[in-house]
Amino acid sequence: MSHNERDREMSPAERRRRMEARRRRQKAQEQRRRKKLMLLIGGGAAALVVIGIVIFAVKHFISGGPAAIASKNGSYVIVIDPGHGGEDMGMSNGEAKEKQVTLDICSKLKVMLESQGCQVVMLREDDTRISKEERVQKANEAQADLLVSVHCGYSDNSSISGAVSHYKKGSKESRYLAEMIESALVKESGALDGGSGEGSYSILSDTEMPAVLVEVGYISNMEEAGSLTDDSYQNDAAKGIAKGIIMSLEKNE
Ligand SMILES: [Zn+2]
């Protein structure tokens, strides 16, 4: 019996039932095809996401991160600002004078950064007083890629100690630089982590490059004042700041 003949012999109800069954089979087949396609697309999308994450990770951890600081002229120019100087002593505690601590640490920091191929502009190299305006002007004239100002912390509560990093408001590069400096400084010196936050100092707000003001330790704390005047502690602090700076740089060589 041919297919057509069988069809002709079927009752209308039987024919409807069979057609219904065929439609259901076709629908199921279509659904299976669609599912396979979705799995394929999903797999592709997942692979793309994985590739994206890998690229992000490489950029973040090898190239210094999403807010890494780029150099303007191929090699880095860094302004170092040793806080206070001359008649402006900063804070003091016994023998420990802020203006001397900042100059000592910055002098060590300069040598370390230069050994890494950076060009360093020091806003003062001896015990002279410079006004805030002069500092800002000298820093801007240097056309630098970044600036780090070094100070000591001070509190009426002499039990407070630790390092704190302040960054230029609204600058993601400055924030990144502060975070890198803070974590490396704490690691190298063993100082308490005072965290990082926005600062409104003129050396941050009035300068034209990513800028951080780091308080390496509380001079008002007896123990920390002792550390801050100690040569090997100053070396560790300088090393931490240098490492933090280097970590924040974009590496395109
Ligand atoms: Zn200061």
Q: What is the pLDDT of residues 159-214, one digit of tens each?
A: 999 999 999 999 999 999 999 999 999 999 999 999 999 999 999 999 999 999 99
13 with 110, same domain: the answer is no
Q: How far is the CA of 199 from the centre of ligand 1 (A)?
A: 13
* Residue 200 belongs to domain with CATH number: 3.40.630.40
47 with 137, same domain: the answer is no
Q: How far is the CA of 68 from the centre of ligand 1 (A)?
A: 27
230 with 162, same domain: the answer is yes
Is 195:182 a contact under the CB 8 Å cutoff? yes
Q: How far is the CA of 91 from the centre of ligand 1 (A)?
A: 7
Count of domains for the chain: 2
Is 241:102 a contact under the CB 8 Å cutoff? no
Q: How far is the CA of 104 from the centre of ligand 1 (A)?
A: 14
| Residue 84 token pair | 């206070």
123 with 229, same domain: the answer is yes
Any bridge partners for residue 190, and if so which? none
Q: How far is the CA of 99 from the centre of ligand 1 (A)?
A: 8
38 with 159, same domain: the answer is no
143 with 221, same domain: the answer is yes
Termini Cα distance of the chain: 82
35 with 102, same domain: the answer is no
What does DSSP say about strands 96-97 and 92-93: parallel, antiparallel, or unpaired? antiparallel
Q: How far is the CA of 73 from the centre of ligand 1 (A)?
A: 31
Is 245:209 a contact under the CB 8 Å cutoff? no
Stated as kind and residue range, the H or E segment containing 50 is: helix 12-62
Is 250:69 a contact under the CB 8 Å cutoff? yes
* pLDDT (0 to 100) of residue 51: 72
CA–CA separation, 214 vs 151, rounded Å?
Answer: 6
CA–CA separation, 121 vs 207, rounded Å?
Answer: 14
72 found inside a domain = no
The pTM for the full model equals 0.75
158 with 222, same domain: the answer is yes
Q: How far is the CA of 90 from the centre of ligand 1 (A)?
A: 5
* pLDDT (0 to 100) of residue 14: 86
* pLDDT (0 to 100) of residue 253: 43
- Looking at residue 84, its amino acid is H
Q: How far is the CA of 132 from the centre of ligand 1 (A)?
A: 12
Q: How far is the CA of 64 from the centre of ligand 1 (A)?
A: 29
The boundaries of the domain holding residue 40 are 1-62
206 found inside a domain = yes
CA–CA separation, 76 vs 89, rounded Å?
Answer: 31
CA–CA separation, 148 vs 15, rounded Å?
Answer: 87
**Which of the residues in the chain have pLDDT under 70?**
1-9, 54-65, 252-253
